[in-house]
Chains A and B, each alone.
Chain A
Amino acid sequence: MRVLVDRDRCEGHGMCEERAPELFRLDDDGELEYHYEGRDVPESLQADAAGGVSVCPVAALKLQR
């Protein structure tokens, strides 16, 4: 499972960070840092990844199964 980040859509609400801080973080400029960009999410973090994706209010995150 991967998470695709659409940075044009991201508005820096930071809800993914609130839901899954071990995966998502807004840096000091409010840009999203995602720890597994371009890589598969480890099994143990997949539920959190899915949770982070689902709370994005602007659908900037998508799951690729």
Chain B
Amino acid sequence: MNGLRHIAVIGGSIAGATAAGALRTGGFEGTVTLFTAEPHPPYTRPPLSKDILTGAKGPDSAVLDLQNDITVRTRMRAVALDARHRRIEFANGQRLGFDGIVLATGARARRIADRPDITEHVLRSIDDAARLREAIHSAASLTVVGGGPLGMEIASACVQQEKAVTIVDPQPVMRQQVGEFLARVIRRAAEDAGVDFLRPSRAVRLDSQAGGGAAVIVDGVRIESDLVITAAGDLPNVEWLDGSGLHIDGGVVVDSHLRAAPGIVAAGDVVRHRVADGLCRTPLWTSAREQATAAASTLLDGSAAHPYRHRPYFWTEQFGLSIKACGTVPTSQPPRILEGSEDDLSLVLQWQQNGIPVAAATVNKRMPIVRLRRLAQETPPTLPKSRSHHEHPKNCHLWRPDHHHGPGGR
């Protein structure tokens, strides 16, 4: 098949593991080697900020089942790529050449500390989760910097353990991801759970604190707590690709088939792909999977493979709310409530623009994704009240370019 004998997958998260598996499913019979910089075999990130942080499940529960016949090499950090010769150099000095390469080096947590003496906790890796779980256990008061899905899930895991939690974010929490209406629902649930909110007018800074840990400087006021956790977005791991010859611009820039160069594809949080209004990174779990599958077929079948189709799907669990959303939720426009009411907190929501559905979400309601996608894209036959006669374009559901949440991008 295409003369490929040895394919390297660089990265051990869901994108890397999925790509490796998809190569096998796609019929590739050569060698597949997955290289990860971490000491752990590939694992999935969504549970890190949920059950693993509360202690309900052990870190091992995040480890992924790989398909047969995939060689995993841990502690192998890629430090340089020669795209033309498809050669990779690793931190231990090894240089290896491949017939095909999947770049899936993901992203890392953005840090805000501006001094090395400040201890800054973030949540991205399985080790971070294990460390934080211990730190949370022995803290009474916590400050979470960042009110996106990750920060909110961390805060939720902390109040479940009866900690005093303050969330600091200059922006209204969750508004960018789920719009004003759902953000209000979430904030109310968080406040009912005892969370305090601070909304500074300036960027938040960290300072060192006597006895270790960090203090948060909010609009010039110093706030001390037992533990500070930063959840301020993520940065794609592209520095190692400097000088590789690839197009790097806030991520690995790829074409419609996830190609970065001949024989080199990319998938997951490291990817910046084209959408109608420019380039965008989509750090979501399902997008990482879909990109990995598409990237693997591209390596095997070239342009005969299906192009990557951007279909954002996002879920979060926090403060007793299980929220799932498809499409791009408009920030300030209110949704139509198709089922349930704001008071009973079991909802099916749909957002339209110019009479065309653009997004849909459920709160505490199980709905097959097939149906949710239909609600986000077209008028469902099963809900006659929301029937619309408008035609609508396909693939019009764009995740807002370059907003971030992690730890795994769900």
Given A54-B18, A63-B65, A13:B370 Cβ within 8 A: no
Any B CB within 8 A of the CB of A51: yes
In Å, the complex CA distance between A54 and B372 comes to 20
Q: Evaluate contact between B46 and A57: CB separation under 8 angstroms.
A: yes
Any A CB within 8 A of the CB of B39: no
Given A50-B25, A62-B65, A14:B46 Cβ within 8 A: no
In Å, the complex CA distance between A17 and B365 comes to 17
Q: Evaluate contact between B370 and A17: CB separation under 8 angstroms.
A: yes
With a cutoff of 8 Å between Cβ atoms, the chain A residues found around residue B410 in the complex are: 57
B3-38 residues at the A interface, CB under 8 angstroms: 18, 21, 25
Q: How large is the interface on A (under 10, 10 to 19, 20 to 34, 35 or more residues)?
A: 20 to 34
Q: Evaluate contact between B366 and A26: CB separation under 8 angstroms.
A: yes
Q: List 30 A-B contacts (CB under 8 A).
A: A11-B317, A11-B322, A11-B366, A12-B368, A13-B324, A14-B366, A14-B368, A14-B372, A15-B286, A15-B369, A17-B368, A17-B369, A17-B370, A18-B369, A18-B370, A18-B373, A25-B368, A26-B366, A26-B367, A26-B368, A30-B365, A30-B367, A31-B366, A47-B25, A57-B46, A57-B285, A57-B410, A59-B64, A62-B65, A63-B65
Any B CB within 8 A of the CB of A29: yes
Any B CB within 8 A of the CB of A58: yes
In Å, the complex CA distance between A12 and B346 comes to 14
Q: Evaluate contact between A58 and B47: CB separation under 8 angstroms.
A: yes
Question: A29: shortest Cβ distance to chain B, in Å?
Answer: 7
Any A CB within 8 A of the CB of B98: no
With a cutoff of 8 Å between Cβ atoms, the chain B residues found around residue A30 in the complex are: 365-368
In Å, the complex CA distance between A48 and B64 comes to 19
Name B22's closest neighbour in chain A (CB-CB). A54
B311-369 residues at the A interface, CB under 8 angstroms: 315, 317, 322, 324, 365-369
In Å, the complex CA distance between A56 and B383 comes to 27
- Which chain A residues have a beta carbon within 8 Å of chain B's beta carbons? 11-15, 17-18, 21, 25-26, 29-31, 47, 50-51, 54-55, 57-59, 62-63
In Å, the complex CA distance between A58 and B18 comes to 14
Any A CB within 8 A of the CB of B187: no
Question: A44: shortest Cβ distance to chain B, in Å?
Answer: 16
Per-position 1/0 for B392-410, Cβ under 8 A of A: 0000000000000000001
In Å, the complex CA distance between A59 and B60 comes to 12
Name A53's closest neighbour in chain B (CB-CB). B65
Q: Evaluate contact between B370 and A57: CB separation under 8 angstroms.
A: no
Q: Evaluate contact between A13 and B25: CB separation under 8 angstroms.
A: no
In Å, the complex CA distance between A47 and B322 comes to 31
Any A CB within 8 A of the CB of B44: yes
Q: Report how many A-B pairs have Cβ atoms within 8 Å.
A: 56
With a cutoff of 8 Å between Cβ atoms, the chain A residues found around residue B286 in the complex are: 15, 57
In Å, the complex CA distance between A29 and B346 comes to 13
Q: Evaluate contact between B65 and A13: CB separation under 8 angstroms.
A: no
Per-position 1/0 for B372-383, Cβ under 8 A of A: 110000000000
With a cutoff of 8 Å between Cβ atoms, the chain B residues found around residue A55 in the complex are: 289
Q: Which 3 pairs show the lowest CB-CB distances between chains A and B?
A: A30-B366, A12-B366, A14-B368
With a cutoff of 8 Å between Cβ atoms, the chain A residues found around residue B370 in the complex are: 14, 17-18, 21
Q: Evaluate contact between B322 and A58: CB separation under 8 angstroms.
A: no
Name B371's closest neighbour in chain A (CB-CB). A14
Q: Evaluate contact between A14 and B369: CB separation under 8 angstroms.
A: yes
With a cutoff of 8 Å between Cβ atoms, the chain A residues found around residue B289 in the complex are: 55
In Å, the complex CA distance between A50 and B18 comes to 12
Name B61's closest neighbour in chain A (CB-CB). A59
Choose one: A17, A25, A58, A62; the contact of B46 (CB below 8 Å).
A58
Name A63's closest neighbour in chain B (CB-CB). B65
With a cutoff of 8 Å between Cβ atoms, the chain B residues found around residue A25 in the complex are: 368
With a cutoff of 8 Å between Cβ atoms, the chain B residues found around residue A14 in the complex are: 366-372
With a cutoff of 8 Å between Cβ atoms, the chain B residues found around residue A59 in the complex are: 44, 61, 64
Question: B14: shortest Cβ distance to chain A, in Å?
Answer: 9
Question: B366: shortest Cβ distance to chain A, in Å?
Answer: 2
